[in-house]
Structure 1
Amino acid sequence: MLEKNFEEKLREDVGLPTRDLDPTPEQVAFGREHFSNTYAEFIETFGYGRVRGGRFQFCPIDVFRPLAALIFKADPELSHNDCHIVGYDAFGRDVTVWSQRFNVVHVDLLQYKIRNLSLAPSDLGTMPIPVPVNPVPLNRETRTRSILPSTADIGECWDWQEGKMFDRCVKGLGALEFGEVYGFVPSLGLTGYNTRSRVVENVRRQRALEHFCMIAQLQPFRLVRNFGPREETVREIG
């Protein structure tokens, strides 16, 4: 049975995924043992697929294990042995990872940034933190909801002039199939993120795993956090 808050968010906010690939019994069993019953029930019920019009898709953990190894290397805290990639957005700005020790981790493959609230909590200074009226007990089942894409801008990428690119990529290149992403050629890891190369004309439809594994090797990843209005690097990963 799906945890109730997970199911509510899935059905009322995210929308049900396209069933592009059925999980194997081994994948379901691994998800139940190393993630949660809710995750196992989710992939068993709905399979792996795309949501929000292809802006985000859920992927098999075992298939994307090579990418996890390239991102986390031999990091003492975020080990690729217990960090599992469960989904990614249309450009690779949000690769969603489940850490068995630190819960959800977000990886930005375009800017080589990693965020995790347990290892690098944001410092909001004097800003008040809202207290939930009916707090939900925190455990593996309730935390599973955090893998669902939660913002309206998920899957979006902005060009160097701050123009949105997703719809233009769909119009010019066609909608993404399961297992595909919109990738920059040449990679922003080579040309730089804040350059004029970040334009629709440099985007191609790519196989996600192969493209991600290639760009993950171009620069080291950094654990970052928000510090007031600024962003700061906590440390390098690996």
Structure 2
Amino acid sequence: MRDEYFELFIDNMGEATSRREVPASSIDKYRGVLPDRLLTYWQQEGWAGYAGGRFWTVDPDEYTPLLREWIKRSELADIDDYHVIGRTGFGTFYLWGQRYHRKVTVSCADNWVLAMKGEVQTPNPDPDRSLGVFFAMAEPDDFDFEDSEENHLFERAVQTLGPLSESEMYGFVPALIAGGQARIESLEKLDMSVHLVLLHQLSHG
């Protein structure tokens, strides 16, 4: 049975448009590492894509090598051990720290990290509630990407390039950090792992 937080999430985002069962071994591995509420969502809902692929809940293990590369030169690497718990169709990642239980947002396309300074090193008194609120407050536009004229791109990307699979993302070519422009004509449907490695190389030399 869904809790009130996830009910709100589904009201806002719609039922999953893609789903993969989560093995019991993954639940066991992250017990005590990630909030119990998230593990319950995994058990009930699987790792899934929502709102046509705007947002995905993911297997953290699949993103661990890439995450280490992205944050190893940032202050985050010294603060906590982070795990990817979700991602958008444009390569924005939502991380969860296992020590302080704080959420951090990393936008690979823009090459920025959003973390509340000071908060990331303060223990979260109620990680299950914080995790639930993140889902309950989610809306499709939160996981979209704006072009240079501040218009959302996702629906146009789907119409132009087709829907995303679990391993794909929409990316700008050339990349924004290499002088590319945020416009529909510059978007391509790309293999996520390959493109994110490229973005990392461009942003970190």
**Cα offset, 1:77, TM superposition:** 4.1
Listed as ranges, the matches of 1:48-59 within 5 Å are: 48-59=47-58
**Structure 1 partner of 2:187:** 203
For structure 1, the 5+ residue unaligned runs are 122-136, 221-238
CA distance in structure 2 between the aligned counterparts of 1:80 and 1:72, rounded to whole angstroms: 11
**Structure 1 partner of 2:161:** 173
2:176 maps to a residue whose letter is L
2:130 maps to a residue whose letter is R
Aligned CA RMSD, in angstroms, stands at 2.6
CA offset digits 1:67-92 (Å, max 9, x no partner): 21111105454459710011111112
SS at 1:67 equivalent: helix
1:80–1:187 CA distance, 2 compared to 1 (3 A): farther
Listed as ranges, the matches of 1:7-46 within 5 Å are: 7-46=6-45
Mapped contact 1:183–1:203 kept (Cα < 8 A)? yes
Aligned partner (choices 194, 198, 201) of residue 214 of structure 1: 198
CA distance in structure 1 between the aligned counterparts of 2:170 and 2:79, rounded to whole angstroms: 25
**Cα offset, 1:27, TM superposition:** 1.3
Mapped contact 2:109–2:171 kept (Cα < 8 A)? no
**Structure 1 partner of 2:130:** 143
Mapped contact 2:106–2:112 kept (Cα < 8 A)? yes
CA distance in structure 1 between the aligned counterparts of 2:10 and 2:152, rounded to whole angstroms: 26
CA distance in structure 2 between the aligned counterparts of 1:60 and 1:46, rounded to whole angstroms: 13
CA distance in structure 1 between the aligned counterparts of 2:200 and 2:112, rounded to whole angstroms: 11
**Structure 2 partner of 1:156:** 144
CA distance in structure 2 between the aligned counterparts of 1:99 and 1:105, rounded to whole angstroms: 8
Give identity over the alignment, percent.
Answer: 22
Mapped contact 1:159–1:200 kept (Cα < 8 A)? yes
CA distance in structure 2 between the aligned counterparts of 1:74 and 1:198, rounded to whole angstroms: 26
Mapped contact 2:19–2:45 kept (Cα < 8 A)? no
SS at 1:64 equivalent: helix
The total of aligned residue pairs comes to: 199
**Structure 2 partner of 1:67:** 66
Mapped contact 2:34–2:96 kept (Cα < 8 A)? yes
1:184–1:143 CA distance, 2 compared to 1 (3 A): same
SS at 2:19 equivalent: coil
1:175 maps to a residue whose letter is P
CA distance in structure 1 between the aligned counterparts of 2:63 and 2:134, rounded to whole angstroms: 16
CA offset digits 1:183-238 (Å, max 9, x no partner): 1112112115xxxx322122111122322232123225xxxxxxxxxxxxxxxxxx
Mapped contact 2:18–2:50 kept (Cα < 8 A)? no
CA distance in structure 1 between the aligned counterparts of 2:148 and 2:76, rounded to whole angstroms: 34
Mapped contact 1:69–1:80 kept (Cα < 8 A)? no
1:182–1:19 CA distance, 2 compared to 1 (3 A): closer
- Computing the radius of gyration over CA atoms, which structure comes out larger, 1 or 2? 1
Query: What is the TM-score when the length of structure 1 is the normalising length?
Result: 0.73
